[in-house]
Amino acid sequence: MNEGNFGEFGGSYVPEGLQTVLDDLANQFNKYKDDPDFNADFKYYLKEYVGRENPLTYAENLTEYVGGAKIYLKREDLNHTGAHKINNTIGQILLAKRMGATRIIAETGAGQHGVATATACAMFKIPCTIYMGTEDIKRQALNVFRMELLGAKVVPVNEGQGRLKEAVDAALNELVENYETTFYLLGSAVGPHPFPSMVRHFQSIISEEARRQILDKEGKLPKAVVACVGGGSNAIGAFANFIDDADVRLIGVEPIEAASISKGVPAILHGFKCLTLLDEAGNPSETNSIAAGLDYPGVGPEHSYLSETGRAEYVQASGADALEAFQLLSKIEGIIPALESAHAVFYAMKLAKELSPEDSIIVNLSGRGDKDVSQVFDMLKK
């Protein structure tokens, strides 16, 4: 398999100018990813700034309520900024600094990746520009303000529907124009090579810890690892160190309202090939998940491949399912999960019931739900 190809998926379908920039990025990433100094720096910030390692919490009440396999929660919700995204942001900024970049650009849809990027840029004292569609800016005013508080410049993108897709295009254009000074910090395990491999690398700290933690607590591997899938970065990070453990089931949970793997077809989106939801005209579909972070018509190329080869399974949960799990976990464990993560919690409960109390399941709790509380308030009032 060529570097950056996952079966027929992945690759790099971009104009020549951008390809030159991405080739250089791939070389630099390959050079630093095994560099002891680089990795010591990465571990240092993960510990001192992000707050790792985070716990693998035994959800005793939930387990008792469901009846069946023990449910463990990998607590990415306890990271600084409240989700897994910061792992990747720190890794890429450290690479950007090694490459001599003096500014960072990023795209954001709902604003979560923009906030994680703005946060890390503030700490590393690097100027930061976030591209965001005008429609998204309207819907996510509070996150725009948050990014500005953190010192980032938010640039509205007016083209097309004024959403995530156009924001990515604007960031890629900007990268080609200013690549000598600028680093594009991409937020999920998507995009042209080397982004999916790079994001996976930085997020795989999740399963590096979780594998060690479960062996510590249970003395054996879990029956399954369950994670929600938007672009697929928290899921690939949670799967990575279990992929060679053939007996561990890897289960990605997509929202029914944006189920790229279950309902998509191979297509090229944002310069890479993946399973994509297309409308009748052949354009990426509008999606409508209640979880903003899962609302993307494509998915990481490695997930497309893991699905095709059968190594991972992909299932669906609806907005109503997620809302149910959101309330239940809050009430019986005192943990308010992100609506994204609640999709995974819902499916894990279903699966736990089918398994024996001797078994365990790890659910990657990708983020905390404080950001979703007012949305849930509005939904429940109706």
Considering the rule CB under 6 A, would residue 14 count as an interface residue with ligand PLP?
A: no
- Binder of ligand PLP out of 83, 154, 168, 261 (CB under 6 A): 83
In angstroms, rounded to a whole number, what is the distance separating the alpha carbons of residues 297 and 289? 11
At 254, give phi and psi (nearest 5°): -100, 150
In angstroms, rounded to a whole number, what is the distance separating the alpha carbons of residues 127 and 44? 22
Q: Which residue in 207, 223, 366, 371 is the catalytic one?
A: 366
Considering the rule CB under 6 A, would residue 234 count as an interface residue with ligand PLP?
A: yes
Minimum CB separation of residue 350 from ligand PLP in Å reads 19
What is the residue-wise DSSP string for 234-271?
Answer: HHHHHHGGGTT-TTSEEEEEEEGGG-HHHH-EEEEETT
At 305, give phi and psi (nearest 5°): -75, -45
197 is catalytic: no
Considering the rule CB under 6 A, would residue 85 count as an interface residue with ligand PLP?
A: yes
366 is catalytic: yes
Which residue is closest to ligand PLP by CB?
Answer: 367
Considering the rule CB under 6 A, would residue 340 count as an interface residue with ligand PLP?
A: yes
**Are 182 and 173 within 8 A, CB to CB?**
no
> 234 or 241: whose CB is closer to ligand PLP?
234
Residues 181-200 touching ligand PLP, rule: CB under 6 A, are 188
313, β-bridge pairs: 251
Minimum CB separation of residue 234 from ligand PLP in Å reads 3
85 is catalytic: yes
Binding part of the chain for ligand PLP, among 9-17, 134-142, 261-269, 335-343 by CB under 6 A, reads: 335-343
> Token pair for residue 55?
């716990």
Q: Which residue in 70, 85, 223, 273 is the catalytic one?
A: 85
In angstroms, rounded to a whole number, what is the distance separating the alpha carbons of residues 242 and 250? 8
In angstroms, rounded to a whole number, what is the distance separating the alpha carbons of residues 97 and 163? 29
Minimum CB separation of residue 293 from ligand PLP in Å reads 3
- Report the interface residues with ligand PLP, using CB under 6 A: 83, 85, 112, 188, 228-235, 293-294, 338, 340-341, 366-367
Enzyme catalytic residues: 85, 107, 366
